[in-house]
Structure 1
Amino acid sequence: MPRNSVLACGAALALLAAATFAADKVPSVPVHFEKGSSSASMKGSLSGYDSVEYSLGAKAGQTMTVKITGSSNANFNVFAPGEKPGASTAIGTGSVGTDWSGTLPKSGDYTIQVFQMRASARRAEAVPFTIAFEVR
């Protein structure tokens, strides 16, 4: 095989590998409560290794409750202000049928990451969900 053909095949394989290992989708969605309300609910969907990060402002000492319904593969983690998924430890976790509620340690924007576990992500399963937030 001519040298140029070998180089072209190698370049094509490198591009294919890069596309295969492309970054997962991680949209960031701000959560806003209607005036006079202390709760909000949002629908979403993800698949494979994608996740969704919701951001929600709250004050130290308030109580946050997070509930998720939909696919049994939907899970979530709650991160304190300044903490990020993949770099920090979550202050709370939950899944369908397992809500999380806790007193917030500091004021700022909390991140709630919705994801699915690796076994179902590997199969690229679709995960529709509804997530509800309450802060009092």
Structure 2
Amino acid sequence: MKRCLIVDDSSVIRLVAKKVLSGPEMLVAEAASADDALDICAHEMPDIVVVDYLLPDMDSCDLIACLMALKAERKPVILLCMCEFDVGLLMRARRAGAVGYIQKPFTRPQLLESFREYLATT
């Protein structure tokens, strides 16, 4: 079973993403802050992490770099979640370790397709 972590300060986004992604092949956890995400990942690194571009307690690119620096058997696939496409932010996120992005608001098919594409690499 694959494991996913949704890091977003919006409880609505976390709830929607969890409902869309949860199933027999995916266990989904939530974090409302970067600190929560780091705690979760330090105990058990998920296969994929979706990081909101704007978090209340840490810059998203700094969180991505911290996640990539954690000791783990394997590095997670990290996706940045953005409201507006920002090439500068995306490039910073990629340098920190993100492999791609998801645009908000997302539809169920868009989210599922993004996950199929990136989870195929894990």
Task: Compute the TM-score of the two structures, normalised by the length of structure 2.
Answer: 0.31
Which has more radius of gyration? 1
Task: Compute the TM-score of the two structures, normalised by the length of structure 1.
Answer: 0.29
Instruction: Give the helix-richer structure, 1 or 2.
Output: 2
